[in-house]
Amino acid sequence: MWQALLDKLAPAYQPVFDLMDGITPQQDLVLIYLLATLLIGLYKRSDTDMNSYLFAGRRLTIPAFVATLVTTWYGGILEIGRYSFKNGIVTWIIFGFFYYIAALLFLKFIAPKIYDLKIRTIPEFLNHQYGKSVALFGFLFVFMLVSPAPYLKILGSLFRHLWDIPEITALELGALFSIIYAIGGGFSSVVRTDKLQFVLMFSGFAFILIMAVNQYGGIQFLKTHAPDYAFSVPGNLSWSFILIWGFIALVTFIDPGFYQRCYAGNNVMDVQKGLKISILFWLLFDFMTVFTGIYASAILPADIAGSPYLELADMLLPPITRGFFLVSLFAIVMSTIDSYTFISAYTLGKDLPEILAGPGLKVQTMKLTQIAILITAVFSILLARYFPHVIDIWYTVGTFSIPVLVVPLIAAMYKKPLRHPLPVMSFSLIASLVWYGIGFYSKKNGEMVYPLGVEPLYPGLLLSLTLYFLLNFISRKDKTGDETV
């Protein structure tokens, strides 16, 4: 039976069987990295209790916390290269500065609440605070937030850059190498591989930056040869577009990856210290990635078809160093895919069944999560074929998720729950959707034209805040009236 199955699969995977023919040093290094990742991830199976499988037994040390949090934030690395190549230093403001501010606010106001209130997941917390309907509504947006599909597409692009294989094969290989160890090892396996990937991501970009400086020179070379927009703010972009990313950075407040890692920490002080250290590492890595993109804009032609990082590596680096840089790119993307796949899986395999089952009914969390890992992988492979740019996903998901989740979630944390939460969340979503729809149907030269030039996130978030304060005011007035009577 197995031989017959292999015979059927062989033609589809013939390109994979041919990988060893005429192998290059870059391919050698990537294969060694993939094997090392699998060995580290599969080294030890997780214990069978839920806390061990989903949250590493809540024993994350500061180094482990930092490694897993820092690596998970950079899955769209090729998109950062494309954006810094086309827009220069303003990329750091959009994808760096605003997120540091959001992370500092998270550290101060949300991380302690996650630990003190034992908030394991967002849907579970919404279920406890507001009930099943709100939890199911929130589940949809959490599931969208952690979809690994766009990052899987990037990983597929890296496989295809190294080997001439069909897209579907590249996506399947990417999913396989990114999740296989999580099925048995759980979150602990993800953290173990993140430690290796943390070292590789910084080392790879240090190599290419050092080579660029040695061969071409430092900041003076960039000022002379990079496009005019490279060190200009707002550069090619408008201030309104830049500002909207300040609000999209609020997605940090509802990022399930942050919640998982904060809950898994040793104690709240370690969690807060780990967040501070992570911000410093993000600052350093953003400097490295953005300046690598600016070097690409100064060295490469303006009309390159591929990724600026990959094109620059092919031009600048000798074979061994180029292979090491490619390994760092694989590490960055895979660290996000395994984390997001795992979070998607327990959102689907733990949160959804528990919400539907109701209190008192036991759910086989570990088994359902393992099945959900496979479902998430298949679903992500299908979705990955339809996403052109990761930044479009970040923008769209943030635009609709923030108005729906931020206000009810934070209000509940601070013991001031939202009255009539489901209508408020629904109206906020509708406001953003209507605004987005108007912009879509008013397009000019392919660009959205929104009413009053206002991005759709603003009306949704403003309506959510307005309804929260209005309903709370009415509630207080009603209570005062009852006491007077």
295/218 Cα distance (integer angstroms):
9
Q: What is the pTM of this model?
A: 0.88
Closest by CA position to 335, among listed 162, 210, 154: 154
Q: What percent of the chain has pLDDT over 90?
A: 53
Mean pLDDT check: name the lowest of 189-198, 224-233, 349-358: 349-358
Enclosing H/E stretch for 414 = none
Indicate the pLDDT class of residue 359, thresholds 50, 70 and 90.
low
pLDDT at 277 over 60: yes
Give every CB contact of residue 383 below 8 A, 6+ residues apart in sequence: 147, 149
Indicate the pLDDT class of residue 6, thresholds 50, 70 and 90.
very low
pLDDT value for 86: 94
282/271 Cα distance (integer angstroms):
16
The length of the chain in residues reads 485
- Which CATH class, in words, describes the domain spanning 41-386? mainly alpha
Indicate the pLDDT class of residue 153, thresholds 50, 70 and 90.
confident
pLDDT value for 93: 94
Indicate the pLDDT class of residue 186, thresholds 50, 70 and 90.
confident
- The overall average pLDDT reported for the chain is 87
- Per DSSP, 47 falls in state P
pLDDT tens digits, one per residue of 22-55 = 678 888 999 999 999 989 988 877 666 778 888 8
In the chain, which residues fall in CATH 1.20.1730.10? 41-386
53/56 Cα distance (integer angstroms):
6
| Residues forming a β-bridge with 447 | 444
Indicate the pLDDT class of residue 3, thresholds 50, 70 and 90.
very low
Q: What percent of the chain has pLDDT over 70?
A: 91
pLDDT value for 460: 94
Indicate the pLDDT class of residue 485, thresholds 50, 70 and 90.
very low
Degrees, nearest 5: CA angle 248-396-76: 75
pLDDT tens digits, one per residue of 195-206 = 999 999 999 999
pLDDT tens digits, one per residue of 439-481 = 888 888 777 788 888 889 999 999 999 999 998 877 666 655 5
pLDDT value for 35: 92
Q: Are 427 and 467 in contact (CB under 8 A)?
A: yes
Peptide bond preceding 234 in cis form (omega within 30 of 0) = yes
Q: Are 382 and 406 in contact (CB under 8 A)?
A: no
Indicate the pLDDT class of residue 241, thresholds 50, 70 and 90.
confident
Query: In the structure encoding, which two tokens stand for residue 90, read together?
Result: 């303003």
User: Other C-beta atoms within 10 Å of 383: how many?
Assistant: 17
pLDDT tens digits, one per residue of 224-233 = 999 999 999 8
472/418 Cα distance (integer angstroms):
8
Give every CB contact of residue 209 below 8 A, 6+ residues apart in sequence: 288, 291, 292, 295
pLDDT tens digits, one per residue of 82-92 = 999 999 999 99
Mean pLDDT check: name the lowest of 149-158, 245-254, 287-296, 473-482: 473-482
Degrees, nearest 5: CA angle 73-198-216: 90
| Residues forming a β-bridge with 265 | 60
132/123 Cα distance (integer angstroms):
9
pLDDT value for 395: 80
Phi first, then psi: what are they for 386, rounded to 5°?
Answer: -115, 0
pLDDT value for 5: 44
